[in-house]
Structure 1
């Protein structure tokens, strides 16, 4: 069993795609670019920031699908691409899952390229007439990458699969008056905002 982990930035996703720490810095939805951590460093990072969730690589990979980021596509490149077999992928115009194109699938729209239809040249014109975008299959495959939908990931199940129990983190107790000061005139509590106005109780000035 592999003991490698991805670290997810669980604060937000891009569309339906989970975001992970990228090799070299930043975050990415591309699993091929996601940094892999040993167990101990992954847990230590979670202890530093609980929104950085460790996920076993062997749990995430089988749940991946194939996405295509529109930021790495250009019409001019696609038109110049040598599309020898004439087959194309059919994309919905102006629809995205995060940055990923949404494809015409056999059962409706899909963000997973593996489920997308790819008709030959004879049938492609009909889709173009309906307002779809057509992209050469080879061009798209070369720019595809594995991604995973956050909704498919179950953290408890994932950690059980590798017998990992994360430590329970201690959260600091909220101090009711941690951001308050005493009025110099009457001694009542003032908020940080109130200190710049006259005290609402006695009228004393408390601005520094």
Structure 2
């Protein structure tokens, strides 16, 4: 088993997709672009910021599906694409899972391209009248990438599978902000309540409004 890890930014997802540290900076839902860390580096980053969750690469990949980011599609490119097998994917217009297109599935809408229907273009013509969009299969396949739904990931299960037990981190204490009347700028320097900062000092009458 590979001993490599992704780091998830667990503070937010893009639609249903989990977001991971991107190689060379930033975040991505594309597993092919996500940076892979050694066990030591992944755990060390978690200890530095506990919202960065380490996940075994093999665990995540085993639960991946295929998404298609609408930001990388253009209608003109699709129309010019040589669609040799004549098949198309059927997409819901103006519906997305984060940035990913939502497709007509066998029984229900899906953002997983693997579950999308792909009839021959001649058989799919009727979908246009129902408000669907048709995209050449080859064009879409070339622009697809592996993603994973956050709800499919179980952190305890994943770490158990590789024998990791993360340290319990003490919650960070947030220092209470202290306000003082602007001593040296016409104020008396006494401590103020937060509400007094936006009015006048109750001791000397000086204004401390920002």
Residue 193 of structure 2 aligns with which residue? 190
In 2: Cα distance, 1:113 partner to 1:97 partner: 12
Q: How does 1:29-68 map to 2 (within 5 A)?
A: 29-68=29-68
Aligned-partner SS, 1:109: coil
In 1: Cα distance, 2:105 partner to 2:171 partner: 46
**8 Å CA contact retained: 1:195, 1:205:** no
Residue 125 of structure 2 aligns with which residue? 125
The runs of 5 or more residues in structure 1 that have no matched partner are none
Shift of 1:203: 5.7
Structure 1 residues 174 and 85, CA gap change in structure 2 (3 angstroms): closer
Residue 135 of structure 2 aligns with which residue? 135
Shift of 1:194: 2.0
Q: TM-score, normalised by structure 2?
A: 0.90
1:58-95 Cα distance to aligned partner (Å, 9 max, x none)? 11001000000001111111001111121000000010
In 2: Cα distance, 1:169 partner to 1:206 partner: 42
Q: How many residue pairs were aligned?
A: 204
Q: TM-score, normalised by structure 1?
A: 0.90
1:133-157 Cα distance to aligned partner (Å, 9 max, x none)? 0000000000000000001111111
**8 Å CA contact retained: 1:55, 1:159:** yes
Residue 179 (structure 1) aligned to one of 169, 177, 180: 177
In 2: Cα distance, 1:96 partner to 1:181 partner: 47
RMSD between aligned alpha carbons?
2.0
